[in-house]
Structure 1
Amino acid sequence: MRINNFMISNILSKDITQRLNAITTAALFFIGMLVAPVGIVSAASLPAGTTGVKWNPGHYYTIQNWANDDPIYMAKVYKELKATPALRGMQMRFLWGWIEKSPGVYDFSIIDKHLEKLAPMGKRLVIQVQTKSFEADWKLIPEYLKAPKYEGGAFAFRDWGSNTIDGRNIKLWNPYVRDRLIALFKALGQRYNSHPHVEGIGMIETALGQSVTPLTTAQTDKWFDNLIVVHQKMRTFFPNTMTIQEINYPRDYLKQIATAIVKMGGALGCPDVYPDEPGLNYSGTPKGAYHYFSQLSGTVPIAPTVEKVNYLNTRGDKKGHVPTVQELLVFARDELKSNYIFWQRLPEYVDNVLEVMNFTNQKSTPSGGLKAACPTAYPSCIKN
């Protein structure tokens, strides 16, 4: 697959200084430089013209989107975060349709609400915009995207071997859908790039799902070309914030995506930590996603997620074994060479996760034993 080099070269935003407050932060920047090591600046606030990226690697919770507004669940989350130094914050997932109410009208109140809780604790938020649903009735996209101009906005897909509609994915090959997604990230960047407790922002997995109406090669090629365009724009809107793309399948497109992510200084994630998954570990041609993690660690941030299915088995087809939390940690740390690990917080596994988070290896360094060196794709790292 070709790489859109013109788009990839357009990395740095020309309007960074318009979004950061030079007057109130210049003095803080100077003081921070006096006390911080070379390449690290204080992130009490971000000064105008800063080219570094916020960098606080380590272990984070992942919160399922159904729990975002559950006060009982979230009260437990905040209590655990406060009591567990090895947990540096949490990743929260938001469906596109939840936060854009009408064209250009956004509701970020739930994000702000959680940041108000996290900031006093010194914890951080990673935002994931979900453009793929795993239930047919989720409000994946704004209503206006269902218009003919956007080709209905999303397509239905089935899981492999299924006869039902199992979810929907956006029609990213459509240039109008692409541009509306870019507009969403622009609004998010204007609001959160300079926030010291917004650690990252990302997009969901590359696996398309088996479309009920088969996609053409042209549609699929354009889908991935436009995914890269969206990420190029995201980097300009979030010049001081980690931008993550989850990769898993199809393998034919992973090299294209990984190459582009390196050129623009993005980050690679994965929706699963499966130690024995054949497709993700595949070493032939085209290579599996995990090949890019181990190869590019140190160049770009590596940030996989441990999901519910990963607690259950080391393979997606359940032909492996039930792993321990420690086993998942060792694989993500040593084989994937992760900087960040996002642990899905589930009631049935939370005690095991917290137990491991309190082991000496996770408590002895801020990164919880994960790789902490500033990636070479970053001009510098901003450490809180």
Structure 2
Amino acid sequence: MNITSAVIKLIKFNSPSSIRQKQHSVWMVLFFTISIFLFSHDMMANPVKWHPGHYCTILGLGKNDSKYMAQVYEELKATPALRGIQIRYFWAELETAKGVYNFSSIDQKLAELSTIGKRLVIQVQTKSFVPAGKPTGKLVPDYLKASEYDGGEFAYSSHGSTAPRGYNIALWNSQVHDRLVELFKVMGERYNSHPYFEGIGMIETAYGEPIIPQPAHQMSKFYDNLLSVQQKMRSYFPNTMTIQEVNYPHSILESFVGKLKEMGTALSGPDVFKDEPGLNRNMRNVPRGIYHFYPELSGIIPLAPQVMHKNYMNTRNDGAGSVPTVSEIFAFARDNLKSNYIFWTRNPKYYSKVLELLNEPDIAKDPFGGLSSVCPRVYASCVD
């Protein structure tokens, strides 16, 4: 006899002589039992692909270079601790016209990686970091440049400069939001069930300083819509890790990260700077830096920081720190950030040191490369 049948029998036996309050209590037990059963069944129906460890983030133009990719695949085969690669695509690369999608590059990479047992993580870039006048990939599809989408993007600077440092998307616009959601819906239908499609995410939360002044509510709407996109993405990829890079502004971090925790989205960040003041900030009566949220979320959601070009060069973005070893970067990501995944940018000047680290005996013999492999509590279950 199962638990539900037992409770029903108990109700039938006691009802004739029980008072209304007792009947109500028993029915509440039954309701709770059935709810737990249904919840557990739903959770077990959505296991998530889970292959934590080290991944190589390839350089932007490299993904279209067969010689470059051949070298990447040889490195993957020679380095057991490398679980796969991360590739970044601008939105415009994936949606070439309204509702017209081109996933041929992703399909090709998945086919190639599958043959060597390695996995793919995608980042959809909705922010660029190239100053005006320099060649860059197109950030958003041309149709988004129309007025109904508020131009689709805006130029930003930093530190009070008037020269554009790059471009961010006009995500406060509800139609831009809807088109981005549609992109992830189509991608979810195509890739969620693919066993070698490990994860999909979005770029950093730092807004940038708009060149053209914006009303105050616009930024707030941007972050509301970003969370909405992530919530939709989570529903379109129920069996795949979804990721959000978070760094700034400080004022949103507590609430924003709390929402990611609720929806089960992985926390990532664009840098591993062990001495960066803004990321490590921990003063009284001011919002904390993002690094302080990582250990609190260990074992709850996936933690997946990125090691970028500058992280190999200094422990601070302004160069006022020290030059770290690759082992020091790894130790900080493992011990302070409690990482499940680390994405190592394949910078040709430093990447050989990364491969040396990952081929050290203690790391090479561990399928997870020395990182925590505990299945996050937000997942129904994890599958290898």
User: TM-score over 0.5 for the alignment?
Assistant: yes
Counterparts of 2:295 and 2:269 in 1: how far apart (Å)? 12
The Cα offsets for residues 236-282 of structure 1, whole Å up to 9 and x where unpaired, read as: 10000000000001011111221111111110000000000010011
The Cα offsets for residues 126-161 of structure 1, whole Å up to 9 and x where unpaired, read as: 000000011144300000000010010000011325
User: What is the correspondence of 1:210-359 to structure 2 with a 5 Å cutoff?
Assistant: 210-284=209-283, 285-359=286-360
User: Is contact 2:206–2:247 with CA below 8 Å preserved after alignment?
Assistant: yes
Match of 1:74 among 53, 69, 74: 69
Which residue of structure 2 aligns with residue 103 of structure 1? 98
SS at match of 1:302: coil
User: Is contact 1:252–1:286 with CA below 8 Å preserved after alignment?
Assistant: yes
Which residue of structure 1 aligns with residue 148 of structure 2? 149
Which residue of structure 1 aligns with residue 53 of structure 2? 58
SS at match of 2:70: helix
Residues 1:88 and 2:88 aligned together: no
Q: Cα offset for 1:361?
A: 2.7
Counting matched residue pairs gives: 336
- AA matched with 2:137: W
Counterparts of 1:125 and 1:140 in 2: how far apart (Å)? 22
Which residue of structure 2 aligns with residue 118 of structure 1? 113
- AA matched with 1:216: P
Which residue of structure 2 aligns with residue 6 of structure 1? none
User: Is contact 2:155–2:167 with CA below 8 Å preserved after alignment?
Assistant: yes
User: Is contact 2:299–2:375 with CA below 8 Å preserved after alignment?
Assistant: yes
Q: Cα offset for 1:68?
A: 1.2
- AA matched with 1:63: I
User: Is contact 2:162–2:211 with CA below 8 Å preserved after alignment?
Assistant: no
Q: Cα offset for 1:379?
A: 1.0
User: Is contact 1:325–1:353 with CA below 8 Å preserved after alignment?
Assistant: yes
- AA matched with 2:120: L
Structure with more relative contact order (C-alpha pairs < 8 Å, separation 6 or more): 1
Counterparts of 1:214 and 1:332 in 2: how far apart (Å)? 37
- AA matched with 1:244: I
- AA matched with 1:62: T
Which residue of structure 2 aligns with residue 159 of structure 1? 158
Residues 1:186 and 2:181 aligned together: no
User: Which of structures 1 and 2 has the bigger CA Rg?
Assistant: 2
SS at match of 1:178: helix
Which residue of structure 2 aligns with residue 377 of structure 1? 378
Q: Cα offset for 1:354?
A: 0.5
SS at match of 2:182: helix
Runs of 4+ in 1 over 6 A off after TM superposition: none
Extract unaligned runs of 5+ from structure 1: 1-48
Instruction: State percent identity of aligned pairs.
Output: 55
CA root-mean-square deviation? 1.3
Counterparts of 1:208 and 1:225 in 2: how far apart (Å)? 13
SS at match of 2:238: coil
User: Is contact 1:50–1:240 with CA below 8 Å preserved after alignment?
Assistant: no
Which residue of structure 2 aligns with residue 360 of structure 1? 361
Counterparts of 1:247 and 1:101 in 2: how far apart (Å)? 27
Counterparts of 1:323 and 1:336 in 2: how far apart (Å)? 16
The Cα offsets for residues 189-217 of structure 1, whole Å up to 9 and x where unpaired, read as: 00000000010000000001111013322
Residues 1:168 and 2:163 aligned together: no
Q: Cα offset for 1:104?
A: 1.1
Counterparts of 2:83 and 2:61 in 1: how far apart (Å)? 22
Match of 1:128 among 123, 129, 133: 123
- AA matched with 1:71: S
- AA matched with 2:101: Y
Counterparts of 1:197 and 1:232 in 2: how far apart (Å)? 22
Q: Cα offset for 1:50?
A: 3.3
